[in-house]
Structure 1
């Protein structure tokens, strides 16, 4: 079947005009963490993989995974809950340390994805590109990572007016590269301090920094590619979004993608008791601690309705 392509999908197939700065940044974003992951494996092969390495990888992964799924995605992109300036900044810093792009870029791209899901205007749809036996492979590659090399910055502002008007968000956005470096410096410093050695700092940088970025990238991008190709579809949405259960723990709940596309404004992706949504659980915890408010819970859940009521009452009491 012949697929006519326009926009970023056409650029992926034809090498069309793209933003040069964004393309250069894409090479750094993709290649440096990949090289770091290879270096981490080689370093561990030579010097071993320690408990400290595992802890730094796990902790930094969780912090940045929550930053991406809870911050960049559910908070900034979909406004599934509200937060004050300090908590807003912390969400932004945690998400930025994942090195998947500044807040404005991440949110604008994601909102365009929702507006034009699985059409030729979707920035990262894995639809087949071209014809022949490799068309689906090319589409899957484009949906996973190839789109980063073809993405354009046309009319981003019209998709993120709320962010552009938020001084806290824009300040965090402007310091994006500082937060990326912080995400590398923290595990390096902790690795050195916990082992009291230069080798521990190097291993911390590799595993808690670069390898962690690489692994989280594959999971986040996998939701874009695999989550629109393979998996279950309990909701008959207008797109090809799918739930990928095997990825749920690693995506901290983001891979319940069909659930999300069916009800994108909710703070929870868990629509069945057995579905793991660590981000939803974390958001509920923050709500109960009074650190966030106006959380959009699924109306079908009595427990969530009660929690939402508590959140709204507490927020009203905090108002002057």
Structure 2
């Protein structure tokens, strides 16, 4: 795919293609955790390959890595929904890296490109790029959920993330993505082994709290790209097909209230309706109370009413 700059003097949207080692790395990062996820149920049923320590350790690492993506990679680094103290900034970049979804600068560049071209040519993972027929939508679902990850085109970080490239802390965290990827698997194994005081406990924690947890979070995150751009409610005016999907709210820490996010991308809270659980917003509120997060962009009644009114026109 070739995309020119969309305005005079702008840097190109794309910056070359991945090399073979990078491309092979994508396949490993996608399919190894997926294989563990597919094997999880039969292993749990047939050999009892699951214990309370695996569930507890997995829940903790899921929460940390999920919030690293939602609060860190997404609401803070991509959209600037709040300002963070230096320690929180670095912690969020590391926590997001533990989700094994790519280095922070690359992730943010891809997501800012998504918003720049949402559901149009240039969007790296829209499900609507191939048409509206049954076969086209099936192809679009696969592309938006997983297929886009295998595209070799690289988003131009100099265009989309000059602020992150100028931050020495973030460049350092970004360059150590291989280390964070190893630790996100090895740390659960270490904790599981120490808790159970056994090599078996380390092995099962590596499997459940490491590989299965990573795979589950992968597909929850990718569901925001696919499911939340195809089905759901659209109470607010947005320039794309973004929608709210309630049953993904808890696992995605509030990211599935996706319609408001695209209607008001810098807003720190996505779930603004009654009963709309948004654990990422709760976390940001805690950071704000502690003084670690400032200038938080909370939603206002006037802004929400205007977006609702525009949606009804």
Common fold: TM-score over 0.5: yes
Q: Distance in 2 between matches of 1:244 and 1:260?
A: 12
Tell whether the 8 Å contact from 1:128 to 1:138 is kept in structure 2 after alignment. Answer: no
Once the 2 structures are TM-superposed, how far is the Cα of residue 133 of structure 1 from its aligned partner?
Answer: 4.0
Helix, strand or coil: the match of 1:153?
A: strand
Once the 2 structures are TM-superposed, how far is the Cα of residue 237 of structure 1 from its aligned partner?
Answer: 1.1
Q: Which residue of 1 aligns with 2:161?
A: 160
Q: Which residue of 2 aligns with 1:298?
A: 299
Residue deviations 1:172-199, cap 9 Å, x none?
A: 1011111111111111011001111111
Q: Distance in 1 between matches of 2:152 and 2:67?
A: 25
Q: Which residue of 2 aligns with 1:115?
A: 116
Q: Distance in 2 between matches of 1:29 and 1:270?
A: 30
Tell whether the 8 Å contact from 1:188 to 1:201 is kept in structure 2 after alignment. Answer: yes
Q: Distance in 1 between matches of 2:102 and 2:143?
A: 17
The 1:105–1:154 alpha-carbon spacing in structure 2 relative to 1, beyond 3 Å, is closer
Tell whether the 8 Å contact from 1:64 to 1:95 is kept in structure 2 after alignment. Answer: yes
Tell whether the 8 Å contact from 1:143 to 1:225 is kept in structure 2 after alignment. Answer: yes
The 1:131–1:277 alpha-carbon spacing in structure 2 relative to 1, beyond 3 Å, is closer
Helix, strand or coil: the match of 1:232?
A: coil
1:66-85 map, 5 Å:
66-85=67-86
The 1:89–1:182 alpha-carbon spacing in structure 2 relative to 1, beyond 3 Å, is same
Q: Which residue of 2 aligns with 1:260?
A: 261
Q: Distance in 1 between matches of 2:96 and 2:186?
A: 16
Q: Distance in 1 between matches of 2:227 and 2:157?
A: 26
Q: How many residue pairs were aligned? A: 288
Q: Which residue of 1 aligns with 2:182?
A: 181
1:218-233 map, 5 Å:
218-233=219-234
1:78-93 map, 5 Å:
78-93=79-94
Q: Which residue of 2 aligns with 1:35?
A: 35
Moved over 3 A (4+): 38-43, 130-133
Once the 2 structures are TM-superposed, how far is the Cα of residue 48 of structure 1 from its aligned partner?
Answer: 3.8
Please give the TM-score of this superposition, normalised by the length of structure 1.
0.86
Q: Which residue of 2 aligns with 1:25?
A: 25
The 1:136–1:58 alpha-carbon spacing in structure 2 relative to 1, beyond 3 Å, is same
Q: Which residue of 1 aligns with 2:249?
A: 248
**Is the deviation greater in 103-112 or in 264-273?**
264-273
Q: Distance in 1 between matches of 2:204 and 2:42?
A: 11
Tell whether the 8 Å contact from 2:109 to 2:155 is kept in structure 1 after alignment. Answer: no
**Where does structure 1 lack aligned partners over 5 or more consecutive residues?**
8-16, 302-320
Tell whether the 8 Å contact from 2:119 to 2:129 is kept in structure 1 after alignment. Answer: no
**Is the deviation greater in 39-48 or in 214-223?**
39-48
The 1:82–1:131 alpha-carbon spacing in structure 2 relative to 1, beyond 3 Å, is closer
Residue deviations 1:107-126, cap 9 Å, x none?
A: 00000000000001100001
Q: Distance in 1 between matches of 2:93 and 2:41?
A: 30
Once the 2 structures are TM-superposed, how far is the Cα of residue 20 of structure 1 from its aligned partner?
Answer: 3.2
Residue deviations 1:22-54, cap 9 Å, x none?
A: 422220121111122234444433134211111
Q: Which residue of 1 aligns with 2:191?
A: 190
The 1:241–1:6 alpha-carbon spacing in structure 2 relative to 1, beyond 3 Å, is farther
Please give the TM-score of this superposition, normalised by the length of structure 2.
0.87
1:87-102 map, 5 Å:
87-102=88-103
**Is the deviation greater in 267-276 or in 292-301?**
292-301
What do you get for the CA RMSD once the two structures are aligned? 1.8
Once the 2 structures are TM-superposed, how far is the Cα of residue 82 of structure 1 from its aligned partner?
Answer: 1.1
